[in-house]
Amino acid sequence: GQPVLSVRDLRVEFVTRRGILKAIDGVSFHIDRGEVLGVVGESGAGKSVTGSAVIGLIDPPGRIAGGEILLNGKRIDNLPPEEMRRIRGKRIGMIFQDPLTSLNPLYTVGEQLVETIRTHTSLSASGARKRAIDLLAEVGIPAPERRIDSYPHEFSGGMRQRVVIALALCAEPELIIADEPTTALDVSVQAQIIFLLKKLGREHGTAIMLVTHDMGVIAETADRVAVMYAGRVAEIGPVREVVQQPLHPYAQGLMGAIPSLHGDAQRLAQIPGSMPRLSAIPPGCSFNPRCPFAFDRCRTERPEAVSRGKHPVACHLYDPVPAAAEAHA
């Protein structure tokens, strides 16, 4: 069937006094029903900006400069803000790093769940409360009939993120965007939240875009993974292939630095050098200053994604015929 989410050649720019910065420069991917797509890369790679574009929250001076975003086959990147607001929360759920950004400290979790459920369904107040209790039970909150009347601050960080997941599920969204959903949590509860998200996605048929800098989280959760670098997708494919046999030199660096869910997430920094600033993206392959395999072509010609028998990878090592030579052949 058609994917829940299709992103095609997405371009996002930020207009600054020093010129136009290309934050996302031609990103394409899709996510199917019940599938988890992990979007991974170092900070600044454009993971969160991609997520924000999907939910229509690129604020000026940012703007979508090209491409298409389709939700179940219908474009959503060109909708009026009012219509996009209805899609957020209803058809697209969101889970952010800090659960407190999604919860209002002044209301009990029950009040927030009931209000959200009633916004999106025709359930009565008592029906919505019953549904809220069921959802809290489903996300693993113990004694939900009692905890439903607690305030957000009365929950631990992990339990609070479970409440946020329940809140995201209220409207039975087609897509959930989870941006670093476990980064702020104790390492001991990160795995539980990740497995919960994956399980619920499967059971509800929800497509999940899981944005994280943590390869360990991706390896344990995602069905497919998109590795982003400097606003582009370097490599995208089934998690087993990309994690066990990464093709792109950057992905190889990342995978060589897989932290376990119970380990040290800072090990990504093992790749020497750092992501270029948007104002200083090098010509050719943006990874070339850090790449141990870089050759002449890498410094002048930007690699496009190719798949030679395997999943797509944007690296000249896998595309031996220069485009110029092809054109003149």
Partner from ligand SF4, Mg ion, none binding residue 96, C-beta < 5-8 Å depending on class: none
CB of 231 to ligand SF4, least distance (A): 14
The answer to whether residues 265 and 254 touch, using CB atoms and an 8 Å cutoff, is no
The answer to whether residues 161 and 103 touch, using CB atoms and an 8 Å cutoff, is no
Strand partners, 27: 10
Residue 291 binds ligand SF4 (CB under 6 A): yes
**CB within 8 Å of 274: residues ≥ 6 apart:** 42, 290
For residues 210 and 315, which CB has a smaller minimum distance to Mg ion in the complex?
210
Residue 252 binds ligand SF4 (CB under 6 A): no
CB of 51 to ligand SF4, least distance (A): 24
Query: Pick from 100, 294, 306, 323: which binds ligand SF4 (CB under 6 A)?
Result: 294
Residue 182 binds Mg ion (CB under 5 A): no
Stretch that binds ligand SF4, among 83-91, 165-173, 252-260, 282-290 (CB under 6 A): 282-290
Strand partners, 94: 177
Identity of the residue numbered 122: S
CB of 300 to ligand SF4, least distance (A): 11
Query: Two tokens at 279?
Result: 């104002």
Alpha-carbon gap, residue 42 to 214, rounded angstroms: 9
Q: How many CB atoms lie within 10 A of CB 329?
A: 6
Residue 323 binds ligand SF4 (CB under 6 A): no
DSSP string of 170-184, one letter each residue? TT--SEEEEESTTTT
CA dihedral over 230, 235, 240, 244, signed as positive or negative: negative
Stretch that binds ligand SF4, among 2-10, 87-95, 101-109, 281-289 (CB under 6 A): 281-289
Alpha-carbon gap, residue 168 to 272, rounded angstroms: 38
Query: Pick from 249, 265, 278, 320: which binds ligand SF4 (CB under 6 A)?
Result: 249
Q: How many residues bind ligand SF4 (CB under 6 A)?
A: 13
User: Which helix (H) or strand (E) element contains residue 147?
Assistant: helix 144-147
For residues 152 and 284, which CB has a smaller minimum distance to ligand SF4 in the complex?
284
For residues 3 and 231, which CB has a smaller minimum distance to Mg ion in the complex?
231
For residues 88 and 316, which CB has a smaller minimum distance to ligand SF4 in the complex?
316
For residues 78 and 245, which CB has a smaller minimum distance to ligand SF4 in the complex?
245
Stretch that binds ligand SF4, among 55-63, 130-138, 141-149, 288-296 (CB under 6 A): 288-296
CB of 226 to Mg ion, least distance (A): 14
For residues 180 and 319, which CB has a smaller minimum distance to Mg ion in the complex?
180
Binding to Mg ion (CB under 5 A) within 23-62 occurs at 48
* Lookup result for tokens 């990342």: 254
CB of 95 to Mg ion, least distance (A): 13
CB of 317 to ligand SF4, least distance (A): 5
CA dihedral over 54, 56, 61, 63, signed as positive or negative: positive
Alpha-carbon gap, residue 113 to 61, rounded angstroms: 34
Residue 254 binds ligand SF4 (CB under 6 A): no
Length of the chain: 329
Identity of the residue numbered 313: V
Residue 315 binds ligand SF4 (CB under 6 A): yes
Query: Pick from 298, 322, 323, 329: which binds ligand SF4 (CB under 6 A)?
Result: 298
Alpha-carbon gap, residue 208 to 78, rounded angstroms: 22
The answer to whether residues 180 and 190 touch, using CB atoms and an 8 Å cutoff, is no
DSSP string of 186-207, one letter each residue? -HHHHHHHHHHHHHHHHHHT-E
Q: Which residues bind ligand SF4 (CB under 6 A)?
A: 248-249, 285, 287-288, 291, 293-294, 298, 303, 315-317
Q: Which residues bind Mg ion (CB under 5 A)?
A: 48
